[in-house]
Amino acid sequence: MFESSNGVSRLLRRLCRCAIACILTLGFAQSFAQGNAKKGEYVAKAAGCVACHTDTKPGSIPFAGGRTLDTPFGTFYGPNITPDRETGLGSWSEADFRRAIHLGERSDGSNYFPAFPYPSFTGMADADVRDLWAYLRSLPATKQASRPHDLRFPFGWRFLVTFWKWLFFAPGPPLATAPTGVTVSRGSYLVRTLGHCGECHTPRNFLGAPLSDRMLAGAKLAEGRTPNLTPTRLKKWTNGDLTKFLKTGLTPDGDVAAETMSEVVLNTTNQVTPDDLAALILYLRSLTPLPEQR
């Protein structure tokens, strides 16, 4: 009798331990599978998501959409990406989000306009996409209808983006986790994938596709020219000059960066860690010097 009750309690204890282990493992797997919102917040900063998805009116709610984006093809409005069910991403799954970021596709298979810089974000590491999704899910749900874009004929036809993608879009390459350290590969990831610096600093052809042989060599935007980021121009700047500019928007001559770039400084380059800033600069230094505009 004594023996068997001892056996039962041992069994119970073992079951208990097993259950705790199971809960811990599941919890760990779950938190892993669900991503880390804190890390995702950092990815969102390094990628400058807030800029295009927040109205510029004072008091606007971050990520609730409404930002005007003027392009040669018309005006885009950044949509609401808070978790509101009706007007935001409330009904989305992580797979829907991954598809939008990596492939520029909606869950119904239609295409996003490349004003959403998925041609850069397509290289985002799986772990970063998962964390970014966890972060977006953690935002307060804000009900605010996204405005329809106001595009010039015929650019408003979403299906035309299919042809654009055939010509100019290559998804990937797939990457499980992002490169780390003060390395050229981390810098490349910060500049080309997350920071999408080429969206403004690489010239485009008449269909809006970046010219790969002029990568980061400076471009003409509606608001004026962006400078060449290859060593041709930046060799005159010390690492200290570049760091100061990317943290404050002040050039070595004491000028203040124009509005578009000061927004990038405010939302992105001023927000990344010192190591990431160093990696970013290391990458810019490693680029092939390209001549100023031909």
CA distances from 163 to 108, 119, 155 (A): 17, 14, 12
Closest distance between ligand HEC and the C-beta of residue 16, in Å?
Answer: 42
Closest to 36 measured CA to CA, from 102, 134, 139, 105: 134
Among 37, 51, 61, 151, binds ligand HEC (CB under 6 A): 51
The footprint of ligand HEC on residues 207-266 (CB under 6 A) is: 226-227, 229, 233, 245, 251, 257-258, 260-261, 264
List of residues 6+ apart from 238 with CB closer than 8 A: none
Window 169-198: contact mask with ligand HEC (x via CB under 6 A)? ----------------------x---xxx-
* Of residues 9 and 110, the one with the C-beta less far from ligand HEC: 110
Burial label for 262, CB within 10 Å (0-12, 13-18, 19+), is middle
* Of residues 28 and 157, the one with the C-beta less far from ligand HEC: 157
Closest to 278 measured CA to CA, from 230, 243, 231: 243
Give CA angle at 93 (89, 98), nearest 5°: 95
Phi and psi of 210, rounded to 5°?
-65, 145
75 lines the binding site for ligand HEC (CB under 6 A): no
The footprint of ligand HEC on residues 111-170 (CB under 6 A) is: 112-113, 115-117, 121, 132
Place of tokens 């970013």: 280
Q: What dihedral angle (degrees, nearest 10) is formed by the CA atoms of 174, 178, 179, 182? A: 150
Tokens of 261: 């770039």
Among 40, 55, 99, 100, binds ligand HEC (CB under 6 A): 100
Closest distance between ligand HEC and the C-beta of residue 195, in Å?
Answer: 3
Number of shown-chain residues binding ligand HEC (CB under 6 A):
44
Closest distance between ligand HEC and the C-beta of residue 176, in Å?
Answer: 18
Rounded to whole angstroms, the Cα distance separating 198 from 211 reads 10
Closest distance between ligand HEC and the C-beta of residue 52, in Å?
Answer: 3
With contact defined as beta carbons under 8 Å apart, do 43 and 132 qualify? yes
- Interacting span for ligand HEC (CB under 6 A) from 24-32, 43-51, 164-172, 178-186: 43-51
With contact defined as beta carbons under 8 Å apart, do 103 and 11 qualify? no
Among 42, 45, 49, 276, binds ligand HEC (CB under 6 A): 49
Closest distance between ligand HEC and the C-beta of residue 33, in Å?
Answer: 19
Closest distance between ligand HEC and the C-beta of residue 218, in Å?
Answer: 9
Rounded to whole angstroms, the Cα distance separating 63 from 139 reads 9
Closest distance between ligand HEC and the C-beta of residue 256, in Å?
Answer: 7
Closest distance between ligand HEC and the C-beta of residue 139, in Å?
Answer: 11
With contact defined as beta carbons under 8 Å apart, do 195 and 292 qualify? no
Interface residues toward ligand HEC, by CB under 6 A: 44, 47-49, 51-53, 69, 76, 78-79, 81, 89, 97, 100, 106, 112-113, 115-117, 121, 132, 191, 195-197, 199-201, 226-227, 229, 233, 245, 251, 257-258, 260-261, 264, 268-269, 280
